[in-house]
Chains A and B, each alone.
Chain A
């Protein structure tokens, strides 16, 4: 169970990541804020369900669920333009960014969790509510799809 200190520390530290993850799913600032806010509230309400030292991935899981709820019941249309001043990057990486966000959410989320977060594959799989083998499968498919789309070598670190 996460105590108050752990909640405060982890929640503050994870805020940028939670927001980015919500944006990675929802692509809309207003909805991402709602998802994060709801996740923080629910994370506090249900903190006793989090195992010691696992509160970060627990919050991650809640954000994903909240974002999916919002996605399902509020928005059906995703913005066709990126928010301004989001990305300053070379055209190559812009292409990679576009390719990542062209993936279905099923494949995009494992990539985001694996490479944005410090979650192990097991923790990321649990955050998504899928078996580890399924998570690895989706990660493999995501990487493969990106390389096929970009027609070039992409290394993941």
Chain B
């Protein structure tokens, strides 16, 4: 039997090439060199505003260099008097190597010191030199600190003004100073302090720079037609793990226009989820390049905060990365163990002579943890092209394992887990495969099913062929569509959309479960009608959350689907766009009656997907029901006679027929809610047989259906009890028992059940699902599950922390 393959993030990362070192350097320089208002990659001609005033300033600066030699310049003056005039001398956006040598020489004379990393970079330049703005900013930072938004607003104003003057930024200026009867900076700060003290914490020591870092900007925005708006943004960032951040926006008169807080790592605020916890650690412990060298104490605090957060709210994407860390036992080194520094040296001895990188704070990491019940130091050392990992006995320093990984990158958390855990849960490197398997070309060609009338009707293929599409015309057609309609394919003609999707499916796509790109016919509502319905539905759904919504100004872009979400219904998808071209949301409706069943909003005030319960028109391909009102598949051989007899009793008790099923469905929605997982089990079974099947897709081979347990076998209640125990066992340590107990539960007895989304079980199973209420999307989402045989054996049980709607 072939062994199970575990595909996870580390496999996916390892399976693709690592970032080449030269490209990494190049891109990091690009990232750090982005000047305000205009990115630079290639040299461009820069508009140089060389005023008389500036020319005079240059002359004076030239004359003043000698005079100033006796007075040391601070960072700002150095930039203002030395670098800015030099920058204005040429139209290039970079200083040359020679110019930089001169600048560094003068800087040294003024005792202006940059970081080791900066100096290394500046003394190892190639012929392209270094970006002027980037270098000037570095020197201003030596006087005012690392964060430009934490500089005094007068400095922010000066800096931007200087960049515009020397031609490195285009105007108009954004960073402004109060003028006229506008509130002064001090007044604004006082308003903010008073507000925070009154509303949140009277003891918040906002002016203590050891406790808070203050970011403050005053900016002017052009609203058009000569109108301007000025706004203060003020952020107090707590400089420890536990304090609250305060964020305010005020207008020029000092009125508070917006404000919010973000709690520390143990806060209850909904914003304090996993990412914010991580960000707070980064703020407190990270270096200026965005890396942290974690030690055991930090990791223990991190575990505590993340575990607490996980008991309050799921943040599924974060769990993916953090889960290994939550499973480790970190230790605070004591006197019986070698020190961290000694561990790093021992690791280097064990790994041999290599070129160990020491430039970054995370280049050498050592964490004390428990492995197989014993204390170890896990040491990670950055070397050229990769990392070496050594695990040492924490008491003796003996190297227990040494490994080199040339494919890993810093984002992988191998540094913080034991090598044993790594080997058990991660990919084992093996010998290099010398004969690469040829990759099939995905194929920009007509797929094999093109024109197949089993897939789509003949008229459909005729309409697509009428576009003239072929391998020879493809480029021209695509370019034409992009030119005429833009890159957003939602605006393309439906035939073009269909071609774009179908030609990327490959030769053997599984068309059974596909939103097939369709085309409407005379039986479907028109595009105009769909737009009208979409606007009305969108307004009805979101008007309360988005009070300034003006649907009359929205434009529509359309898609059409056959067999949408493989439920046998054709659907219009109407995408709604604001006048500025931003996509606001989308509405899906059944194509013949225009019944809206799904909406999605991208407005930050009401984001997410919402569904509606509608009674769809019966699919046209469904066979007629039987004369006794039973659905068309009743009595077929895929289910035993006992099943039909039992179901027949239930159907008669509830008085359900094909003709009245829609009405019954609506009644059950009113009685039990719109989510059928919360209905009585009998109703769920009837729903499946009376409405969920489309004869077009039906195959008698291994039909999957809800049924009833046999006498003497596990009842539904027993299955739920067993499932709950199993889920507690799987999840108590991760999320806490109370979290699980709060979930709602449903159990179905399934024949030919789909286990883990693909394999069908050979025996019937109780599928027990646990749901939590997802407030963002407005419905129940799966949070845990268990699969149990009719004899009570648990096949699978786990939390499902990846479902988010």
> When the two chains form their complex, are residues B478 and A90 in contact, meaning their CB atoms are under 8 A apart?
no
A37 to chain B minimum Cβ distance, whole angstroms, is 7
Interface membership of B353, Cβ < 8 A: no
Are A44 and B441 in touch, CB under 8 angstroms? no
Q: Is the CB of A78 within 8 A of B442?
A: yes
**Shortest distance between the CB of A9 and any CB in chain B (Å):** 4
Q: What residues on A are CB-neighbors of B433 within 8 Å?
A: 87-89, 91, 94
Whether A133 contacts B565 in the complex (CB less than 8 A), given A16-B410, A96-B7, A152-B5, comes out as yes
- Chain A residues with Cβ below 8 Å from B488 are 129
B150 to chain A, nearest CB (A): 10
B427 in contact with A4 (CB, 8 Å): no
List A contacts of B148 (CB < 8 A): 4
Task: Let me know if B429 and A72 touch, CB within 8 A.
Answer: no
In the complex, whether B547 has a CB less than 8 A from a CB of chain A is no
How distant is B118 from chain A, measured CB to nearest CB, in Å?
14
The smallest C-beta distance from B10 to any residue of chain A, in angstroms, reads 9
Taking CB atoms and an 8 Å cut-off, the chain B residues in 396-441 that contact chain A are 406-407, 409-411, 427-433, 436-441
* Structural contact, B39 and A120, CB atoms closer than 8 A: no
Query: Is B27 touching A37 in the complex (CB atoms < 8 A)?
Result: yes
A81 touches B804 (CB 8 A): no
B321 at the interface (CB under 8 A from A): yes
B442/A152 in contact, CB under 8 A = no
On whether the beta carbons of A118 and B318 are closer than 8 Å, the reply is yes
Say which residue of B7, B409, B479 sits within 8 Å of A157 (CB atoms): B7
Given A13-B290, A16-B19, A83-B17, CB of A156 within 8 Å of CB of B7: yes
A147 with B758: in contact, given A15-B28, A120-B316 (CB under 8 Å)?
yes
> Does B628 have its Cβ within 8 Å of any Cβ on chain A?
no
| B626 CB–A CB distance under 8 Å | no
Verify A93–B17 contact, CB threshold 8 A.
no
| Pair B439/A152 contact, Cβ less than 8 Å | no
Chain B residues 8 to 66 lying within 8 A of chain A, measured CB to CB, are 8-9, 11-20, 23-24, 27-28, 30-32, 34, 36, 39, 41
Q: Does B2 contact A (CB under 8 A)?
A: yes
**In the complex the two chains form, is B147's CB within 8 Å of A89's CB?**
no
**How far does the alpha carbon of A18 sit from the alpha carbon of B28 in the complex, in Å?**
13
The yes or no answer to B697 lying at the interface (CB within 8 A) is no
Quick check: A12 and B444 within 8 Å, CB to CB? no
**Given known A-B contacts A12-B28, A16-B19, A81-B438, A155 and B5 have beta carbons under 8 A apart:** yes
Report how far A118 CA is from B275 CA in the complex, Å.
10
Scan residues 492-543 of chain B and give those whose CB is less than 8 A from a CB of chain A: 501, 504-506, 509-510, 513-515
- CB pair B7–A154 under 8 Å, yes or no, is yes
Q: How far is the CB of A63 from chain B (nearest CB, A)?
A: 12
State the total of A-B contacts with C-beta under 8 angstroms: 230
Chain B nearest CB, measured from A7 CB (Å): 7
A103: which B residues are within 8 A, CB to CB? 506
The reply on B336 being an interface residue by CB < 8 A is no
Interchain nearest-CB distance for A105 vs B (Å) = 6
Q: What CA separation (Å) do A103 and B190 show in the bound complex?
A: 60
B348: chain A residues within 8 A (beta carbon): none
Q: CA A1 – CA B32 in complex, angstroms?
A: 18
Q: How far is the CA of A74 from the CA of B437 in the complex (A)?
A: 24
Q: Which residues of A from 43 to 63 have beta carbons under 8 Å from B? A: 44-45, 51, 53
Residue among B39, B282, B410, B608 with most chain A CB within 10 A = B39
Q: How distant is B176 from chain A, measured CB to nearest CB, in Å?
A: 17
Contact B16 A86 (CB under 8 A): yes
Closest B residue by C-beta to A83: B17
Residues in chain B near residue A27, CB distance under 8 A: 439
**Given A8-B290, A90-B430, A81 contacting B409 (CB threshold 8 A):** no
User: What residue in chain A is nearest B7 (Cβ atoms)?
Assistant: A156
Q: CB distance B513 to A141 under 8 Å?
A: yes
Given the complex of chains A and B, what is the CA–CA distance between A106 and B147 in angstroms? 41
Q: A81-B436, A101-B439, A140-B757 are in contact. Are A3 and B598 (CB under 8 A)?
A: no
Cα–Cα, bound, A126→B148 (Å): 31
B505 and A16 within 8 A (CB): no
Q: Of B16, B316, B320, which is in contact with the most chain A CB atoms at under 10 Å from its CB?
A: B16
Closest A residue to B432 by beta carbon equals A88
B317 CB–A CB distance under 8 Å: yes
| B residues 597-627 touching A (CB-CB < 8 Å) | 598, 600, 602, 604, 608-609
Q: How far is the CA of A51 from the CA of B478 in the complex (A)?
A: 31
A26–B183 alpha-carbon span in the complex (Å): 54
Contacts of A77 in B (CB 8 A): 441
Q: Is B656 an interface residue (CB 8 A)?
A: no
CB interface residues, B 763-805, toward A, < 8 Å: 802, 804-805
Q: Which residues of A contact B5 (CB under 8 A)?
A: 92-93, 96, 150, 152-155
Q: Are B506 and A104 interface neighbours, CB within 8 A?
A: yes
Whether B565 and A137, one on each chain, are in contact in the complex, defined by CB atoms closer than 8 angstroms, is yes
Min CB–CB distance B805 → chain A (angstroms): 6
A125-157 interface bits toward B, Cβ cutoff 8 Å, 1 = contact, 0 = none: 010010111100100110111011011111111
Please, which residue of chain A has its CB at the minimum distance from the CB of B137? A4
Contacts of B430 in A (CB 8 A): 88-91
A85 near B432 (CB under 8 angstroms)?
yes
> Contact at A93–B11, with CB atoms within 8 Å?
yes
Interfacial chain B residues near A140, Cβ < 8 Å: 513, 757
B149 at interface, CB cutoff 8 A: yes
Q: Do A20 and B16 touch (CB < 8 A)?
A: yes
Report Cα–Cα, A24/B5, bound state, in Å.
Answer: 20
In Å, the complex CA distance between A145 and B507 comes to 13
Partner pick for A15 among B24, B442, B759, CB 8 A cutoff? B24
Q: Are A98 and B2 in contact (CB under 8 A)?
A: no
* Chain A residues with a Cβ under 8 A of chain B: 3-5, 7-9, 11-13, 15-17, 19-20, 23-24, 27, 29, 33, 36-37, 40-41, 44-45, 51, 53, 65, 69, 72-73, 76-83, 85-94, 96-98, 100-106, 111-112, 115-116, 118-123, 126, 129, 131-134, 137, 140-141, 143-145, 147-148, 150-157
What are the 9 tightest A-B residue pairs by CB atom distance, in nearest-first order?
A157-B8, A152-B2, A9-B290, A20-B16, A82-B436, A153-B4, A16-B409, A16-B19, A90-B430
Beyond the given A51-B604, A78-B439, A97-B15, please list 5 additional residue pairs across the A-B interface where CB-CB is below 8 A: A12-B290, A88-B431, A118-B321, A122-B804, A155-B5
What are 20 A-B pairs at a CB distance below 8 A? A5-B149, A17-B411, A36-B27, A37-B30, A77-B441, A82-B436, A87-B14, A89-B15, A89-B430, A89-B433, A104-B442, A106-B501, A106-B505, A132-B600, A134-B515, A137-B513, A140-B757, A141-B509, A144-B757, A150-B2
